[in-house]
Each structure stands twice: as C-alpha cells, then as structure tokens.
Amino acid sequence: MSEEALYMDDSYLKEFDATVIGIKDGKHIFLDKTAFYPTGGGQPCDYGSLIRKSDGKRFDVVNVAKMDGKIAHELREPGLQEGDHVHGGIDWERRYKLMRMHTAAHLLSAMCFKMGAKMTGNQLGTDESRIDFDLEQFDKERITQQVAMLNESMKRDAPVKVYYMDREEALKDPEMVKLAKILPPAVERLRIVDIKDMDRQADGGTHVKSTKEVGEIVITKMENKGKSNRRVYFTLK
C-alpha cells in the first residue's frame, strides 16, 4: 500500500480523483493518489475536502501528515470506507501562498549562502515565514541591501524546474555534493528544485514555476538567536 504523491510532479494540481485504500482510527484516510501536501520540510500541510462520489457527501480534510511513511488525510468527521471513490480538492489560496513562500525561502537561502552563511532551518507560514542561518557577523543593513537586489533579479522571471537525479550522478557534480551528503544514504533518487541561475537543491516541497510569481520579499524582523544563529522573518507583497 503506497500512494502516488501527485504534488511532487505537479504543484499546480488543485483537484484529483482517488480511491480510499486504507483507514486508521476512523478518521485518518489513505488514498491511492493525492495532491494533498503533508507537513514537512518547513512547509505546512494543505487543507481541503474529499467528496464521496456515490452520494456527494463532503468530508473536510483538517490535517495531512506522514504516518509510517504514508500520507494520512485527517478528516473532521469519520465516515469514509475503504474502496470509496472520492474527488479531492485542496484549499488553493492557502497552498499557493505557501508555494510562493517556499520558493522565496530557497532564494533567501541562496542569498545567505553567497554571504557566507548556511541556512539551518525554516518555517513557512501563509502570512509570515522565517529562516534561520548561521552567521557570525550580523549586518542587518547588508541583508536589507541583498534582499533589495534579490527582489530586482526575481523580476527577471527565472523559471523554477523540478526534476530527478540519481544520487550517484549528483555526487559527480561539485555543486550538488553538499546537498547529496546531507540526505540519508537510503535516498537513491533526489528530487531537485532548480531556480535558473539562482539556486538548486534537493527538496520535497511545492514551488511556483517562476520567480515572478513570488512577488516581492519584505523583511519584517531580524533577531539574534544565540551566538551565531540569526533569524529573519519575511512576508510577501
């Protein structure tokens, strides 16, 4: 029993048809395929609904998370049965905001890397997101300048591509070595998110297809979190 994660190859898929292939505790539903993104990699899950085809009854999806490696859709109320055919729909407004935020976070991490800092974590939100990075010298003015330059270059409409690469192949590419090393050896095939000429990393999240769609990054707060850990909050315009 393993599902097809449709969002991996099509971030813009909003609706889909699927079959219930498993249920846990009455309200955790497993599907043969799904466009619902489960919480992970700093990106919060999708919300939405599953509509049973036999009677049109609607079940709200209030949380999506991986359970034993499989995508579990938590329903507000139980009622779906194994074998039910459903039509799924995700809350697109929420997802699209998170996609823009996720691509923005990758661009910011590339910017930090150029400044000699390494990103150590991120937490995306629909209204505000934050990234943490490791940097001794915290020059806030310089960061503000860099973000202004980044916003300018985002207007160039750089395409964001998603493709797969074998781990072995990735290790031959000096640029990819750093990201291949941080992944567990069990991962044989890497999913690469490539923002043309700006950033490239292995990632499981959903992204917009062009930097233009991100809009403009606005830094809302910068703070120190320990000796060299810096935290930057941002929103999008």
Q: Which residue number places its CB atom closest to Zn ion?
A: 203
The 3-state DSSP class for residue 168 equals: helix
Q: Report the nearest approach of Zn ion to the CB of residue 43 (Å).
A: 7
> What residues numbered 188-207 form the site for Zn ion, per CB under 5 A?
203, 205
The site map against Zn ion for 204-223 (x = CB under 5 A) is: -x------------------
44 binds Zn ion (CB under 5 A): no
| Among 148, 38, 46, residue whose Cα is nearest residue 97 | 46
Q: What are the structure tokens assigned to 77, written together?
A: 């109320």
Q: Which is nearer to Zn ion, 49 or 201 (CB)?
A: 201
The site map against Zn ion for 154-193 (x = CB under 5 A) is: ----------------------------------------
CA–CA dist 123, 102 (Å, integer)? 9
Q: Which is nearer to Zn ion, 194 or 203 (CB)?
A: 203
Q: What are phi and psi of 75, to 5 degrees?
A: -95, 150
Q: Report the nearest approach of Zn ion to the CB of residue 191 (Å).
A: 10
Q: Report the nearest approach of Zn ion to the CB of residue 131 (Å).
A: 10
Report CA dihedral (166, 204, 90, 5) to the nearest 10 degrees: 30
Q: Report the nearest approach of Zn ion to the CB of residue 71 (Å).
A: 18
Q: What are phi and psi of 214, to 5 degrees?
A: -65, -35
CA dist 141 to 15, 145, 146, 152, 187, Å?
Answer: 44, 6, 9, 17, 40
Q: Report the nearest approach of Zn ion to the CB of residue 102 (Å).
A: 6
Q: What are the structure tokens assigned to 21, written together?
A: 């292939």
Count of residues near Zn ion by CB under 5 A = 2
Q: Which residues contact Zn ion (rule: CB under 5 A)?
A: 203, 205
